[in-house]
Structure 1
């Protein structure tokens, strides 16, 4: 399975419009190669270089298996109702992009797509990103990753 973005290349800079320095929209994402037995997908986005450990920027789940990507801005729950969003570490539902402290150096932002063997994750209403990931791991078929970088 492969995960890509039309906004940035794996290992390269995330454009400012997808961060708190811009419009803070989620970037467009595309994928291919999910196993035939996939019943749903989960997308996780986190900062792996945060000083206090992994900082979760977005988790969306119960993405229909027939999807092959998410449009730019899909991280706003009020705009897309075909899947669910978790509460991120900013305390908000949906996507909040990279926003490291000024002068804190280059940060890596990991985008992970998980193909699952279930249609619906058994999680509470408005779960945390960590709760979504934990529940998804029990149903994991395959995972794809890509990384973007950002600094201020």
Structure 2
């Protein structure tokens, strides 16, 4: 079996519902994953928009998600699950899709990690998280959704 991440809120490559965007409640969509590598000790999640006008925009950084987890509930704040890193606005937590124009792609990348903690504090930057992930990632699963403002 392959390590996969899905959302009951939208199909891979499909439209992210408005409720999970800046035009709605701006809360995370539900995410679920299955079949991580056997040696997984924790997970990390990075959500970004590679179509942003000034280069890739990071919407969400979450790490030290316990290995027992197989999902994140929709609409939930991530503070109670793992540690939050900074998004591109230097804020902690989720920032929903909010493209200035056109349809943008949003990638949710889930990293299976070989250690319980990346030894980073809450508020770590994406670069700090990625540097730690480079040494500890076993496998990565990816889900892409799209959004265009009404």
The correspondence for 1:23, drawn from 22, 25, 42, is: 25
1:28-67 residue pairs with structure 2 within 5 A? 28-67=30-69
Assess if the C-alpha contact under 8 Å between 2:84 and 2:122 holds in 1.
Answer: no
Q: Which structure 2 residue ranges, 5 or more long, are not aligned?
A: none
Runs of 4+ in 1 over 3 A off after TM superposition: none
The CA deviation string for residues 97-126 of structure 1, in whole angstroms up to 9 with x for no partner, is 10111xx21100000000000110022441
Residues 16 and 145, structure 2, Cα contact 8 Å, conserved in 1: yes
**1:76 Cα deviation from its structure 2 partner:** 4.2
How many angstroms apart in 2 are the aligned matches of 1:61 and 1:76? Answer: 10
- Is contact 2:83–2:121 with CA below 8 Å preserved after alignment? no
Aligned residue pairs total 147
Structure 1: distance between partners of 2:78 and 2:36: 24
SS at match of 2:40: coil
Say whether 1:94 aligns with 2:93. Answer: yes
Which residue in 2 is equivalent to 1:114?
Answer: 111
Q: What is the TM-score normalised by the length of structure 2? A: 0.93
Partner of 1:84: 83
Q: For the residues of structure 1 that align with 2:29 and 2:122, how far apart are their CA atoms?
A: 25
